[in-house]
Structure 1
Amino acid sequence: MSIISDFNDEEKEKVLEDLTSNVKQIQDDLLKEILTLNSGTEYLQSFLHGSSSKELFKKNLPIVTYKDVKPYFDRVANGESSDVISALPITNVFVSSGTSGGANKILPSNNKFLDGYAFSNDLLVHIISKHVKGVERGKGMIFSLTGHETKTPGGLPIESSTSWYLKSDYFKNRPSNWFYSFTSPDEVMLGSDIKQNLYCHLLCGLVQRDEVMRIGSTFASGMVRVIKVLQDSWKELCSNIRSGYLSEWITDSGCRNAVSMVLGGQPRPNLSDEIESICSQKSWKGIMKKLWPQTKYIEAIITGSMAQYVPTLNHYCDDLPLVSTTYASSESIFGINTYPLCKPEDISYTLMPNISYFEFIPVEEGSDDVVDLADVKLGCSYQLLITNLWGLYRMRIGDMLKVTGFHNKAPQFRFMGRENTLLSIDTDRTNEEYLFKALNRATLVLESSDLRLVAFTSYADISSSPGHYVIYLEVKAKNEDIRDLKFDEKTFLECCLVMEDSFDDEYRYCRSNEFVGPLEIRVVNDGSFDSLMNLSISKGTSVNQYKTPTCITSEKGVQVLETNVVARFFTLSIKPNHSM
């Protein structure tokens, strides 16, 4: 993969044109490279017997899910040689945000992933510069975070792909262009305390508010979280700016020393007064543009489950464009948005044929053909398969994509969502399997208190930050003669606890870091779910075909349930309304 960071605009445009015009040849060459390099690995040897033939690859190599190949990944993570799956040394593993089955994935990786990461960033410098005039004249207030690193039993680092990149030589020796010019020192990005890091990011950004040309976070949910920290901390931030000194509770030594140098012990009373005047206003509509007036755009992933945050960001960011630059995951960098200023609902990603080998399973029923990247059809939807240089071969990743157009001969895809995901607030992905597992445990608690479950549904509530899961329950007493049902707070609190305990590691990670708020149970009146059914029937659903939704997305449906809520219970606190 060519290094293009030192290329001029004309040379970068030629790279983009070549990539998007020669998709088939580049993909075939990449597959040949992957198979030639890795043909001697234990995994490929068992199917290809040393061959690097594309025909044999298509015929013999099975299409797999993560569960199929997890034993191989586990062996490497536990200390066996990398050549179980990869001829190149596996240097670390990623913990992803969850499979289509809702469980976390431990995925192998090496520097080839970083090559793709750096390449896509360098190409984005060119693309954004073409579409956003003047962005190169300032800095980015980018809320990058690393978090804690752990290790596998075999000693490999376990971390996110973003964290690994921030710690890598690619980032340390990054090009000196606008894309890599930040308001925050590197030490803030490399800190392990998320609360301290976000506060310091904001403080540095406010001190340099007139230099900020772009504001960004990996996910839209992260951007909303930043705004919440700003709402909670603006008075303290103003105090730090006024005095020129950092609050004592910032104890991360790297953050503290670096941010103290930014502040320089220099009082800035006028700047503090300006910020305080803006933040004191009753309405925070457009607050981001008011605080950082030179900002050209907001950068965050706003596709898939992140689309739910677009209205919130539009409120706080006013007329600033929301730019979703990259389609990526722990499995690979997939593609980039070659039209960054398009509307959120029009975002599509052009897949880069030089990073990983892509195949597609048509979603249409009765179609078993697996097609290559160059052969997908406009308007059709597909499940994505990936083969790469670091140990993944024909693996389903659970992403559903639709072809929306072409950049030259390179297909552009709209991300439709994750297969089977029901609930998602941040990087959590909870499906029916996990939700029903949680509900079954809660049902046992209810039954031990002489209650029975009549009906339930779930809802991802993002009306406040952080968002949280809501479980609507309609319950009755086991003894049908009991009409005046009383709620035992301890019973429903235990239901909340056992449900949260039933979700996967990624959910618990998000909860422990306050990316997701406490689970809430909302008990509704007797007959509420009948009213929900009547609403659906009134819209044309046959009574014979109606099923209570496992997850409710209809705004009117939520309103029906909300008007019938009689008690609320949270994992960490209990807020009952009144008894039935």
Structure 2
Amino acid sequence: MGAQAAPLVMIVIFLPFVVAFSVYAIYHEVMEHPKALSVTKSALAGIGCLILVILSFAGVDYFRRRISGVTQYTFGHMASHYICLIRLQFTGRRMRNKLESDTIELREVQSRLILQRLRRNQSTIYGRDYNFKIMKTVEDFTKQHPLTRYSHYQSYLEQIVEGQENVLNVDSTVLLAITSGASGHSNMLPVLSHERTLHYRFGYAIVWRILHDNFSELKRLRKILRFAYVPRTKTIACGIPVGQQQPNVEYTLQMLSTPTKAFKITDDYSLLYIHLLFGLRDPNIGLIESGFASVLYTAMRALRNHWHDLVHDIETGTINCDIKLDTNLRKHLESLLFPDLNRASFLREEFDRGFDGIVSRIWPDLQCVLTVDSGSNDIYGRILKQHEFQGIIFYSALYSATEGLLGINLDPLSHNRHYLLIPRTVFYEFIPLEQSDEEQPSTLLLDEVEDGKDYELVVSNQSGLYRYRFGDVVRVVGFHNHCPLIEFLYRQGQFLNVRGEKTSEKAFYSALIHSARNWHGIKIIDYCCVESAVLEQVSNKSDLIDLPYYTVFLELENGHLICASQLDEIDKTLCKEFFVYETFRKKNNIAPMKVFIVKPGTFSEFRQFLRDTADISLNLYKTPRVLRRIDTVQFMLDHVDIRMHSL
């Protein structure tokens, strides 16, 4: 632990004895006044003994959990890590038990949740407009309040922006959160402070309980390499910040390999470099974490491109001068580094061996990766598992959105991404998928859904969205006690729909992956699609107006070329796997899809383009699978590799 930690270790060892001596002295002082302080005497003696026991146990437990030979962190820092870990374990155990009981008393929990929120907000502008006061039962609520979409709330959000209080919620809005815009456009939704607490207690804390139950090494004081970034926000006239939600970093800062003050860095690339630098110097990393697999993919690309600089910095105990850092912050971060020739030499040898399987070689005690690798992030998860993360378990722990925390994955060892819906965070309703085209269809409650059926999910959340249709389509895949387990299928805004066929992201991606299996080792880096009607607004080609069709933009690994007949397999496979699309193709109502190969690095540049033009934080970035914006379509057309595309 280093010489500077030795005095602190001695304090921890002898602190229980100091406390015991103090209690003994107080005891004898009290003994001189037995009549007046007899109760106090007993109380102090009891408290002293309790403190002695607690501190003794904590000291023993700390040394049991610590990693021997660690020199990168001070004792004080590791003691803070220990306290944070114990708090997280305690909260996780308590919340896991509460979740278990909630899934048994499902209807009661859901009913109590929505009725309490209606009562609490009945005096708001919205509550008066929709007469919350007369809604006494769940049936009253579902009959008297309409199903809503984002446009329903725009006038109320305008009032919030203008500084009006008590609009949607009696509690103050702490953030106007901008959604990721993966479905084609970004929305602005209110966020309350209590929502962040819910996300920690019923999300992250329970996840840690699950991790501890499955990976015993994570009970030890191993650091987390977390790729999290500072969201860009701006404060509007009413004093409310506007931007994307901050991930739950503050609760676990002392458990991270990245120093706390580094989270003041607003430049994403600079912070990414610091994440990698401080992570690489620690060989005992136990967990790697990122919001989405796409974020982790970006980090691995940066590692491939800049490992020479990173190893040099570890070798010299400095930070590359090209990294944009405030002078004082740079001095602080460099004060935490020291030249580590052995670690630098080891890393250099491993990187020279290649990047396939690199993660388990440089962090041999890594237990798993905590990231979302389902839905639109599946393609990034596949690439990472095939290369840098060979043999590493990926745990897609949470199903959440800007609208709220929705589900938790109880089985980190399973390849399935099944989420238990959390009864205490939002009020759920379900629209049978065959009725989702209706404006006001009937809905089912959480305990009324059927196994194997697909539904559009409807939520009433903490911040003032009621019976809100945000577009997620899920499949019920089983039950835990009485509560449904679901699989996320797609978001409705990501349809390809030129003739009413509604090809989902899941259906298209399945056809794409199955087609690529016959491409003789050529791998897909990323993709997106656009409908011909949108393409016509950019292209002047006359042949675009004959029949509608899909256009696909593909980036292949290492800029490989591929013949047109192989690309045509995507259209044929989609016909085989999705009979609705096949029907329209056979009737000649939809023309064959066109596939364009884009230049290497296009989707990395596209990520930066979207962050610059839509102000999207790297934390929440998702590649839009269906392009709706004209500028994004033009971007892709400008990056087409002229050597090969199917026409």
Q: Does the residue aligned with 1:70 lie in a helix, a strand or coil? A: helix
How far 1:531 sits from its partner (Å)? 8.9
Q: How is 1:17-36 mapped onto 2 (pairs within 5 angstroms)? A: 17-36=100-119
Structure 1 residue 185: Cα displacement: 1.1
| Correspondence 1:371 to 2:444 | yes
Change (3 A) 1:317 1:268: same
Match of 1:440 in 2: 536
1:214 aligns with 2:291: no
For 1:150-189, what aligned pairs fall within 5 Å after superposition?
Answer: 150-163=234-247, 165-166=248-249, 171=250, 174=251, 181-189=255-263
| 1:451-466 matches, cutoff 5 A | 457-459=550-552, 461=554, 463=556
Pick one of 117, 135, 140 that aligns with 2:224.
140
1:79 match: 163
1:259 Cα deviation from its structure 2 partner: 2.8
Instruction: Please state if 1:547 is matched with 2:547.
Output: no
- The 5 Å alignment of 1:9-48 reads 11-48=94-131
The answer to whether the 8 Å contact 1:109/1:390 transfers is yes
Q: Secondary structure at the match of 1:443?
A: coil
Correspondent of 1:269 among 318, 341, 365: 341
Question: Which residue is 2:178 aligned to?
Answer: 95
Secondary structure of 1:306's partner?
helix
Secondary structure of 1:416 counterpart: strand
Q: Is the 8 A contact 1:147 1:191 kept in 2?
A: no
Q: RMSD in angstroms over aligned alpha carbons?
A: 3.6
Code of the residue aligned with 1:401 in structure 2: it is V
- Alpha-carbon distance in structure 2 between the residues aligned to 1:342 and 1:255: 42
State the partner residue of 2:400: 328
Which residue, out of 190, 198, 203, partners 1:108? 190
* 1:48-447 correspondence to structure 2 within 5 Å: 48=131, 50-53=133-136, 54-81=138-165, 83-98=166-181, 100=183, 102-119=184-201, 120-137=203-220, 138-163=222-247, 165-166=248-249, 171=250, 174=251, 181-208=255-282, 210-253=283-326, 256-263=330-337, 266-281=338-353, 283-315=354-386, 316-343=388-415, 346-365=416-435, 368-422=441-495, 438-444=534-540, 446=541
Contact kept in structure 2, 1:213 and 1:296, CA below 8 Å: yes
Amino acid at match of 1:58: T
SS at match of 1:211: coil
Pick closer, same or farther for the CA change 1:339–1:257 going to 2, 3 Å.
Answer: farther
Structure 1 residue 431: deviation in Å? 8.3
Q: How many Å apart are 1:453 and its aligned residue?
A: 6.6
TM-score (norm 1): 0.74
Q: Distance in 2 between matches of 1:393 and 1:551?
A: 41
- What secondary structure, in the 3-state scheme, does the structure 2 residue paired with 1:389 have? coil
**Farther-moved stretch of structure 1 (9-18 vs 374-383):** 9-18
CA deviation map 1:313-346 (0-9, x unaligned): 1112011111001111111011211112211xx1
**Is 1:197–1:255's contact at 8 Å kept on the other side of the alignment?**
no
- Contact kept, 8 Å, 2:529 with 2:550, in 1: the verdict is no
Shift of residue 464 of structure 1? Answer: 5.1
Question: Does the aligned pair in 2 maintain the 1:147–1:190 contact within 8 Å?
Answer: no
Residue 78 of structure 1 and its aligned partner are, at CA, apart by: 3.0
Kindly tell me: are residues 232 and 5 of structure 1, through their superposed partners in 2, closer, same or farther at Cα, counting changes over 3 Å? closer
Contact 1:533 1:548 in 2 (8 A): no
Q: What displacement does 1:207 show?
A: 0.7
Q: TM-score if structure 2 supplies the norm length?
A: 0.67
2:305 counterpart SS class: helix
The residue identity in structure 2 corresponding to 1:419 is Q
8 Å CA contact retained: 2:385, 2:391: yes
Deviations 1:480-529 (CA, angstroms, capped at 9, x unpaired):
xxxxxxxxxxxxxxxxxxxxxxxxxxxxxxxxxxxxxxxxxx9998x999
Shift of 1:50: 2.2
Q: Secondary structure, in 3 states, of the residue corresponding to 2:299?
A: helix
C-alpha separation in 2, matches of 1:250 and 1:372: 52
Query: Secondary structure, in 3 states, of the residue corresponding to 1:141?
Result: strand
Q: Gaps spanning 5+ residues in structure 2: where?
A: 1-86, 497-504, 510-525, 597-633
Q: Displacement of 1:68 after TM fit?
A: 2.2
Rounded to whole Å, the distance in 2 between the matches of 1:106 and 1:396 is 15
Residues of 2 paired with 1:384 and 1:552: CA distance?
A: 33
| CA distance 1:183–1:394, change in 2 (3 Å) | same
Question: Cα distance, 1:437 vs. partner?
Answer: 6.5
In 2 relative to 1, CA 574–414 (structure 1 residues): closer, same or farther, beyond 3 Å?
Answer: closer
> Compared with structure 1, are the counterparts of its residues 10 and 187 closer, same or farther at alpha carbon in structure 2 (3 Å cutoff)?
closer
Say which structure is richer in helix.
2
Which structure would you say has the larger Rg? Answer: 2
Write the distance in 1 (CA, Å) between the matches of 2:215 and 2:240: 40
1:559 maps to what in 2?
A: none
Distance of 1:414 and 1:531 partners within structure 2 = 28
Task: Call closer, same or farther: CA 1:76–1:237 in 2, change over 3 Å.
Answer: same
Q: Displacement of 1:188 after TM fit?
A: 2.5
Deviations 1:178-233 (A, max 9, x none): xx61100122234210000111100000111x220011110010111010000010
Secondary structure of 1:442's counterpart equals coil
SS of the residue 2:413 aligns to: coil
| Matched AA of 1:318 | Q
**One-letter amino acid of the structure 1 residue matched with residue 539 of structure 2:** T
Aligned partners of 1:99 and 1:105 also within 8 Å: no
Query: Deviation of residue 417 (structure 1)?
Result: 1.3
3-state SS of the aligned residue for 1:123?
helix
Q: Which amino acid aligns with 2:590?
A: K
Question: 2: CA distance between counterparts of 1:197 and 1:247?
Answer: 12
Report the secondary structure of 1:215's partner residue.
Answer: strand
Task: Please give the alpha-carbon distance, in whole angstroms, between the structure 1 residues aligned to 2:209 and 2:391.
Answer: 24
Q: Determine if contact 1:250/1:256 at 8 Å carries over to the other structure.
A: no
Q: Does the 8 Å contact 2:156/2:167 carry over to 1?
A: yes
Question: Which piece of structure 1 moves more, 384-393 or 147-156?
Answer: 147-156
Query: What is residue 23 of structure 2 aligned with on the other side?
Result: none
Q: Structure 1 residues 403 and 257 mapped into 2: Cα distance closer, same or farther (>3 Å)? A: farther
Q: What is the CA–CA distance in structure 1 between the aligned matches of 2:570 and 2:218, rounded to whole Å?
A: 49
The structural deviation recorded for 1:430 is: 8.2
CA pair 326-551 structure 1, distance change in 2 beyond 3 A: farther
CA distance in 1, matches of 2:591, 2:302: 37
Distance 2:150 2:454 in 1: 21
Q: Which amino acid aligns with 1:115?
A: T
Q: Which runs of 5+ in 1 are unaligned?
A: 468-521, 554-567
Equivalent in the alignment of 1:471: none
Q: How many residues align?
A: 482
Is this contact kept in 2: 1:350–1:413, CA < 8 A? yes
